[in-house]
Amino acid sequence: MVRDFPELKVWEMGHRLTLRVYGATGEFPRQETYGLAAQLRRCSASIPANIAEGCGRSGDAELNRFMLISMGSASELEYHLLLARDLGYLDPQRYRDLSQRTQEIKRMLSTFITKLRYTKS
């Protein structure tokens, strides 16, 4: 299993998604700076950060745990994106783009987690 996180496509996609989320939230109303914008930034950055941390740990069990945490952060991001769209902070096209990217990352994480389980047995 690859332990150098920048070599993982799922990490790279998570990093790119985080950059996009930062760009989108920069356009949110000022009163959301410490509210929804901060939440979106935190949970999006948590995805690649936990992948990186898991790669720095010893053993597949630890890596699996951090991949699961990344999956949870991606699910949280899905909800916050939906909320931002419904509040009118994200236009439908930007919401669709960010949401699709998040779903793709979740699929990749799921595949990675499944592979980790099977290499364990």
**Per-residue pLDDT tens over the stretch 95-104:** 999 999 999 9
Per-residue pLDDT band for 119 (boundaries 50, 70, 90) equals confident
What is the per-residue pLDDT for 120?
58
Residue 107's CB is within 10 A of a number of other CB atoms, namely 12
Which residues 6+ apart lie within 8 Å of 67 measured at CB? 50, 51, 54, 109, 112, 113, 116
**43 and 77 in contact (C-beta within 8 Å)?**
yes
> What DSSP character marks residue 1?
-
Domains of the chain: 5-120 (1.20.1440.60)
Q: Which amino acid is at 102?
A: T
- Residues 106-120 have a mean pLDDT of 89
Does the pLDDT of residue 51 top 90, yes or no?
yes
Per-residue pLDDT band for 2 (boundaries 50, 70, 90) equals low
Q: Please, what is the average pLDDT of the chain?
A: 94
